[in-house]
Structure 1
């Protein structure tokens, strides 16, 4: 077993600060890397060491593998935590670090590769006993195959890019007269965004919820499921509000899907934290993808389990076997996370600039994961996340009351923010009742 001594955090913003805090608690030295735009970032100020790795453009800094490896060698970092986004699901990066004798705090490169290819991920999930959406076995090669599989699956169908993500390269066809053109659009978008025009086809589920299961494995055959999160409130396939646990599931459904996911990760010998994402419709789960990294919404799981997922990642990466079993995990109360972005609350146009006043809420059961401060300049080069407001209560109703109070307390001036959107959502009867699906928010915004 190798105890990690110094972690280089290959990320920025709130997730870099989140990882830094976990390392400090465990007595692990930290290295912050940053672009020239992030010189005054909070994680740079708080880290034991910092290294500038390039100009503002992510391709020349946070995605610059040679610069990050050089920063490891300069500082003597023996491990890298990739956070989420950027290089967190880049198998080549994991391979390169391993070749340099540096620990990648995440799954194996092979596991990242398998789950990063949508078709291979679906095939693997099916082999591991995870339920999948009916659809093509692999990439669609011709229009004849497209029409045949669509007929077998039943309309409407969803055509998706094999290398896709974030809703890119995804189109719906309601009948045979639309499917060929829809596939052509998906291929063109996939080629433009991912350099790969391979597409596959699935049954389109009209009103599903987005349910994801947090998993943790030690790479040695030990693995557990740490409950579910309901991430159905989305805009343009991007999550806006996440809660644990889901208002839609029964205890019986939970027990069954946890067991399925835990066993799959044991069989796969999965290493680290990961999330298996499902569409849930009429009592059935359908696998859509697996994220082989820490999720943005991981705090809601931490709030209801009392487990620190970054501590767990560091332990597993050091070679420690899991000491918890599925039966050891208990869930307490309810948690909700709202992603507060520097965006106009109605047009969602990004609003970079200087934060003139900043006052996060506090009190029992309130957590704010953010790297901003009064006077901080939100740069225009990266995502617009100001921070995440996470609240916990003994029940969902208590959690909602606490969330309403916390949103009223939250002050962000100088830039536009999505706080007004959440203040509207917390008044809505459907939200209060937990009665929503993945299309609910788009419809709500269209009506406004």
Structure 2
């Protein structure tokens, strides 16, 4: 039995949806994922980026097809439930909420790390929590205003990234030979790096999770996902190539802020503080979009009774899932005080790759064009398995915990005479 549904307001057009997806991807990828990916792939970083983009393309295609058919809030949680059954939808939703909650904490910590370097606990956690509370309040007053804010953040981030590329091209000493894979590259390292870089592409799904709030979803969602992914891939390739030719793979891996460091090694070193400010802006944009996506999946799961039904409440004035947004904001604010940026990328990547494996399997059941969904499922599982062992173990434990909770709820429902869990 599901809770009564109060519809969300359809206020987003194609441009707004593209910007929300770009805001999630750009902030998460350029400023956080390149460093650990370079450590894993070495000089084959661009090859790993291409592999991550291929996996993202397969899953974007599957997500677009599914979102056009099921334009409701919740993304793969909805698709898995409709196409594969309640358990698989629940598992996807569980993985998304847990993985992306960790990503939200990582983005909040990125803001604090770049904005107030050297800040120690407990003030580091207090400031990170304040950032989360502020953006949660922005989401609370309406998704349209959030989309407008994200547009500004994305534009500023792109300007800063353009400055990085210009600094290397004009004032740096780039070596083109560094773009070619060398003896430090191996297959497992490239696969691990691709899994970490996939974290940077996963933002395109934010468009699908907002399916109940876009105008003309059958037309808007597939177009927005495709455009956002193509634009971000172009940005990633150019920025990665610039940083790699300037610093080399070792320089990228050794610096937590590789883009700012790359600029500092050029004759344009005075722009390094601007790049650090850009990292803060990008992380804010990513956090804003992530909070939107997680709260909408929580809304969908609460509507179906997998989470407390009060989380399905929609604000009578602002037409947003305000209980879900407040709950997600509270959890993220607490998590931000203890999260480690590099480790949480791997954990989030594992959970999200499982989420997209369910999406690919769901798209495969549509029967038309099965090759791309099959490639997406296989590649997701391979990349997930090659992530750092700690990320794999933590991810499996979290997924097993979610499965046990689902089984316990189903057993309780049967004993209570309510039938199987819905």
Q: Do both share a fold (TM > 0.5)?
A: no
> Between Structure 1 and Structure 2, which shows a larger proportion of strand residues?
1
> Between Structure 1 and Structure 2, which shows a larger proportion of helix residues?
2
TM-score (norm 2): 0.23
Larger Rg: 1
| Structure of greater relative contact order (alpha carbons < 8 Å, 6+ residues apart) | 2
TM-score (norm 1): 0.22
